[in-house]
Chains A and B, each alone.
Chain A
Amino acid sequence: MVDKIHVKTTINGLPQEFLVDPFMSLLETLRDVLNLTGTKEGCNDGNCGACTVVLDGRIVDSCCVLGAEIEGKTVETIEGMAGPDGLHPLQQAFLEEAALQCGICTPGFLVSAKALLEREPEADEHRIRYWLAGNLCRCTGYDKIIKAVQKVQA
């Protein structure tokens, strides 16, 4: 067995320090080491987006990043999206527009959509669909997800 790696990082604005196996993905690290299970696993190979988090301002599939790689960086997950003042407008819009059915894809969509709106607040429907194409949803047919994002833009 190889030695664990010591990692110091910031997750959802809070400093974190932990030991992680060198082969462990960020997804596993979040879920199993840090108990942040809001980030979901759908494929573990970068093809569904259920594990989407923001790493130093960029969205990534956390299953394709190593836990040890976040040393010195900042990570934002679904757990950091709502604050003491309540839900993020996207979360509220997802609820109002029924943009989730089973909800397993929802954290990934919310994290991706938030990054989109921060970058391109004016994105048109095609652009929203393009941006969210890395997130799979098998339940909704995407229609209500797109409408929820547009509602926040309006």
Chain B
Amino acid sequence: MVSTQEYKVIGTRPIRHDGLDKVTGRAVYGADIKLPGMLYGDVLRSPHAHARIKSVDTSGAEAMDGVIAVMTSADMPEAGDKIVDLGEGEINLKYASNHIIASGKVNFKGHPVAAVAATSTNIAREAVRAIKVEYEVLPSAITVDEALADGAPIICEEMVGDDLGEEVKNTNMASHFRHEFGDLEKGFSEATTIVEHRYDLAMVHQGYIEPQNATAVWNEEGRIKVWVSTQGSFSTRTQIAGVLQIDESRINVVPLEIGGGFGGKIPIYLEPLAAILSKKSGGKPVRILMDRTDVFDATGPTPGGWVNVKMGVNDEGIITAAESDIRFDAGGFPGSPVGAAAMCVFSCYDIANTRIDGYDIIVNKPKTAAYRAPGSTHVAFATESVVDEICEKIGMDVVEFRLKNASKEGSRRADGPIFPLIGNVETLEASQASPHWQSELVRDGGNGKLRGRGIANGYWFNIGFKSSVNLSVNTDGTVMLVEGSTDIGGTRVSIAMQAAEVLGIPAEDVRPTVVDTDSVGYTDVTGGSRTCYATGYAAYNAAKSLITKLTTRAASIWDLSEDQIEFSEGKFASKSDPELSMTFKELASQLNDTGGPVNSTGAVDLENAGGSFATHIVDLEIDPETGKTDVVRYTTVQDVGTAIHPSYVEGQMQGGAVQGIGWALNEEYFMSDEGAMENASFLDYRMPTSLDLPEIETILVEVPNPVHPYGVRGVGETPIVPPVAAIANAIYDALGIRLRSAPMNPGRILVALKEKNG
């Protein structure tokens, strides 16, 4: 299916269509909307991580001038125990409802308890303070080990956990599953070297710069309109419909520009509150904005927890067996990405005998959400550190070892399925040949700092799913493209480019617009690295169908039959008469006299996008006095299938790598014993700045995905997978110390250095 022809549009770097609005400040993001008569909402959040709500007295707020509506969980409909698929992850509606506003109990600090709408933000803030809540504070469980300990406080009391298919009550363990292939005991008995360690990771946040927001109107007809920045307008609609128990068709979600998501803007938080406040205030629009503390306290971080990996190799350096135990904290309600972690933990290798145990564990922390390749960074930290240690033990080159054991087409992934065509080997070979890997590491920078180099692999499976695109031709030969995929980082242009390639016109002549849920067919979230792949495929299909319709038009103009006309290189031409030829533009100019408008539509529901592999190489230096680590050189190598717009592919690789660097070195939720995040600001939750980083080099390996017409694979998520492990391996190279706990911050490094040097 993959075309070998030279592309005209694909692989070029046109300016994104939405760029102008974004560099001039005209683009309208979620918080920028202002509607006539709009009220301002605010949310009262629990100061406790775990408590029973004994009473809520809203009378003080209701009595205030300027307060128009006040709500609590009593205003929410009773949600059923039903699971809804969101594209990337699933939610249980009962939990989703309790998560949005606490009913009876709070499960994490920051859990909403009440909300108000008032005529100004200031009055709303004052009104929230006037609400009196009586709590019975309960003991809390903050880590996975605390939550599974005997006598741990039970957080979701009515929940029935699933332990390898058996029901368990009175537990914080929502789920324990296992994958097992081959004969593990036999595999380990064949090994001559076995390494096993546990790797701990702190909870970290996606850190998008734009806080969550929602503006809603619930009108007299029972229709809801919501303006929001979201990764998926349709999944937002599904969630609102489920939580508020009304038909999806009565809800219109208008996606505004979105200031970053990384998985964290798939779940809803504020939308139902704004809608109910609107209803209670007689249909006035209500806008609620989070502040940064709310974002840290109450929106989707990615789990902390631990991963144990045991791996055995024989004398030839072949991995004979591997075993993993993965325990993730889900936050205050079930649903961590432990299933995805299990899919990824051994995916870079072809291993005959494997066992993986995964645990989803509830703790008194914010409910986790997807974060870029959710779960895969955690398990790569463990697996890739163990691999590095094995290589040292058996004296084998780290890239040779990975190549020798690399998964490839036909290998069985450790959760079962066989790999289709993948680019793992090609990626490893490209990193081996890279200027960075080939360069000599200068061990002494002359500044007293210790230098090291590390390398690690990563994998993400990339999803497919549903997308819709509509096209219509203008008589000037340009094409309007309407899509449902919200654009977080340049997908408008990369989708328009795929349509333009089919139509044989420049990317600039396809004008993409992201519209509301009333105006386009169902489209899954922008997430799972699916947008360029699946929505791009829908655009491809729509463009093909446009060509079919235009061929009919050309046939009628020339009085030929359709099969006498061919379309190639942007031209319609008669197969027999060389005189008869028209460009796309020329034909478009004749639409008005030949039957009017020509429109088309494309819709897909695709299988997974074909996994993507990455290898990262890092050089760093560590100041032994302060324990501070500086990254001095960084290279990302990734199989990207086909790069539609290489600049935005590189951008995904660079951005993901930097998030991973932050995760490795700095970022962390500091939790108090009572379960409060103690660093809920950008000052204390320190994300990398431009000064913390060198240039991020990118090497794009293109192994076209056989199930996409242009060979597109998802690229957005894999880049965050290798960095934590690559940095741990580089720290070992520099210090001779294996750090098995992330973040590997100055404090941990100093302690480790002290232990080592006595």
Contact partner, B23, options A36, A47, A95, Cβ 8 Å: A95
Q: Within the assembled complex, what's the spacing in Å between the Cα atoms of A31 and B210? A: 15
B83 interfacial contact with A, CB 8 Å = no
- A101-B488 in contact (CB<8A): yes
Chain A residue nearest to B66 (CB atoms) is A1
The verdict on A37 contacting B32 (CB below 8 Å), with A42-B211, A43-B681, A47-B682 known, is yes
- By a beta-carbon cutoff of 8 Å, the part of chain A in contact with chain B is 21, 23, 28, 31-32, 35-48, 50, 77-79, 81-82, 87, 91, 94-98, 100-107, 110, 128-130, 132-146
Residue pairs across A and B with Cβ atoms less than 8 A apart, 27 shown, are A23-B122, A36-B25, A38-B26, A41-B31, A42-B259, A43-B681, A45-B683, A47-B682, A47-B683, A48-B209, A95-B23, A97-B647, A98-B13, A102-B260, A102-B488, A102-B489, A104-B29, A130-B691, A133-B689, A133-B692, A136-B209, A136-B689, A138-B208, A139-B655, A140-B651, A141-B657, A142-B690
Which residues from chain B contact A81 at a C-beta distance below 8 Å? 24-25
Q: Within the assembled complex, what's the spacing in Å between the Cα atoms of A31 and B213? A: 15
Indicate the member of B121, B689, B692 with the most A CB atoms within 10 Å.
B689
Which residues from chain B contact A129 at a C-beta distance below 8 Å? 689-691, 693
Contact partner, A21, options B18, B122, B262, Cβ 8 Å: B122
B281 interfacial contact with A, CB 8 Å = no
- A103-B22 in contact (CB<8A): yes
Q: Within the assembled complex, what's the spacing in Å between the Cα atoms of A47 and B292? A: 10
Q: Within the assembled complex, what's the spacing in Å between the Cα atoms of A86 and B156? A: 58
The verdict on A103 contacting B292 (CB below 8 Å), with A98-B648, A142-B693 known, is no
Indicate the member of A97, A106, A130 with the most B CB atoms within 10 Å.
A106
B727 interfacial contact with A, CB 8 Å = no
Nearest CB in chain A: distance from B263 CB, A: 12
Which residues from chain B contact A48 at a C-beta distance below 8 Å? 209, 682
Chain A residue nearest to B24 (CB atoms) is A82
B182 interfacial contact with A, CB 8 Å = no
Chain B residues numbered 193-222 whose CB sits less than 8 Å from any CB in chain A: 206-211
- B696-A143 in contact (CB<8A): yes
The verdict on A100 contacting B19 (CB below 8 Å), with A41-B211, A43-B292, A136-B209 known, is yes
The verdict on A140 contacting B19 (CB below 8 Å), with A40-B29, A45-B682, A102-B489 known, is no
Contact partner, A104, options B259, B262, B659, Cβ 8 Å: B259
Which residues from chain B contact A50 at a C-beta distance below 8 Å? 209
Which residues from chain A contact B207 at a C-beta distance below 8 Å? 138
Which residues from chain B contact A87 at a C-beta distance below 8 Å? 20, 23-24
Which residues from chain B contact A143 at a C-beta distance below 8 Å? 650, 654, 693, 695-696
B142 interfacial contact with A, CB 8 Å = no
Chain A proximity mask over B1-40: 1 for CB below 8 Å, otherwise 0 = 0000000000001011011101111111101101000000
Contact partner, B22, options A43, A100, A132, A138, Cβ 8 Å: A100
Contact partner, A91, options B24, B260, B261, B659, Cβ 8 Å: B24
Which residues from chain B contact A142 at a C-beta distance below 8 Å? 654, 658, 689-690, 693
- B690-A133 in contact (CB<8A): yes
3 tightest A-B CB contacts, nearest first: A38-B25, A104-B259, A101-B489
The verdict on A98 contacting B651 (CB below 8 Å), with A40-B29, A87-B23, A142-B658 known, is yes
- B659-A43 in contact (CB<8A): no
B291 interfacial contact with A, CB 8 Å = yes
Contacts A43-B292, A106-B23, A144-B654 known; list 20 others, CB within 8 Å: A37-B32, A43-B681, A44-B291, A46-B683, A79-B24, A79-B25, A82-B24, A91-B24, A95-B19, A101-B651, A102-B257, A103-B259, A110-B23, A128-B690, A133-B689, A133-B690, A133-B691, A141-B693, A141-B696, A143-B693
- A138-B23 in contact (CB<8A): no
Indicate the member of B25, B122, B292, B658 with the most A CB atoms within 10 Å.
B25
- B211-A138 in contact (CB<8A): no
Chain A residue nearest to B636 (CB atoms) is A141
B490 interfacial contact with A, CB 8 Å = yes
B258 interfacial contact with A, CB 8 Å = yes
- A102-B34 in contact (CB<8A): no
Nearest CB in chain B: distance from A150 CB, A: 11
Chain B residue nearest to A92 (CB atoms) is B23
Nearest CB in chain B: distance from A111 CB, A: 10
- B210-A102 in contact (CB<8A): yes
B480 interfacial contact with A, CB 8 Å = no
B687 interfacial contact with A, CB 8 Å = yes
Which residues from chain A contact B206 at a C-beta distance below 8 Å? 138
Chain B residues numbered 632-651 whose CB sits less than 8 Å from any CB in chain A: 645, 647-648, 650-651
Which residues from chain B contact A23 at a C-beta distance below 8 Å? 122
Indicate the member of A37, A135, A138 with the most B CB atoms within 10 Å.
A138
Chain B residues numbered 23-80 whose CB sits less than 8 Å from any CB in chain A: 23-29, 31-32, 34
Chain B residue nearest to A144 (CB atoms) is B651
Chain A proximity mask over B679-708: 1 for CB below 8 Å, otherwise 0 = 001110001011111011000000000000
Q: Within the assembled complex, what's the spacing in Å between the Cα atoms of A143 and B19? A: 18
Chain B residues numbered 655-669 whose CB sits less than 8 Å from any CB in chain A: 655-659
Indicate the member of A43, A46, A79, A105 with the most B CB atoms within 10 Å.
A43
Q: Within the assembled complex, what's the spacing in Å between the Cα atoms of A38 and B659? A: 26
The verdict on A101 contacting B648 (CB below 8 Å), with A81-B24, A106-B22, A140-B655 known, is yes
Q: Within the assembled complex, what's the spacing in Å between the Cα atoms of A28 and B121? A: 10
Q: Within the assembled complex, what's the spacing in Å between the Cα atoms of A95 and B645? A: 13
Nearest CB in chain B: distance from A105 CB, A: 5
Chain A residue nearest to B698 (CB atoms) is A143
Nearest CB in chain A: distance from B13 CB, A: 7
Q: Within the assembled complex, what's the spacing in Å between the Cα atoms of A47 and B295? A: 15
Which residues from chain A contact B682 at a C-beta distance below 8 Å? 42-43, 45, 47-48, 136
